[in-house]
Amino acid sequence: MLSLLTNLPREVLVQQIYDGLVLLVLGMGTVFVFLIVLIFVAKLMSKICMKFETPAPAPQAKVTNTAKTVAQPSVSAKSNDAAIAAAIAAAYDKER
């Protein structure tokens, strides 16, 4: 390949390098302009969507009792825990 380039006249090589640089600048310029346009279109769409967005309702302040209460587990929760523990033990024994 290098031998083919050395056989070409100097003017042809210079012209090819010039054409390559022009294509490089045009391609990079096109991508740069496209990305700038993309940024502005995204910002514009964001503003348009903000106009049509319904505002979220304000969170309601909850009135809580100042006395601390400790929740006692119910009987069904205790039996549910026992059933879960039994299922875990059975699965563990089965895998051994």
**pTM, two decimal places:** 0.47
Helix (H, G, I), strand (E, B) or coil at 66: coil
Q: Domain for residue 39, yes or no? A: yes
Report pLDDT digits (tens) over 42-76. Answer: 999 999 998 888 777 777 777 666 656 656 656 56
Q: Domain for residue 34, yes or no? A: yes
For the chain, give the percent of residues with pLDDT over 70: 79
Q: Domain for residue 65, yes or no? A: no
Own/partner pairs for 45-49, CB < 8 Å, 24+ apart?
Answer: none
Q: Domain for residue 60, yes or no? A: no
Q: Are 30 and 38 in contact (CB under 8 A)?
A: no
Q: Domain for residue 66, yes or no? A: no
Q: Domain for residue 31, yes or no? A: yes
Distance in angstroms (rounded) separating the CA atoms of residues 40 and 46: 10
* Structural domains of the chain, count: 1
Domain with 47 in it: 2-55+72-95
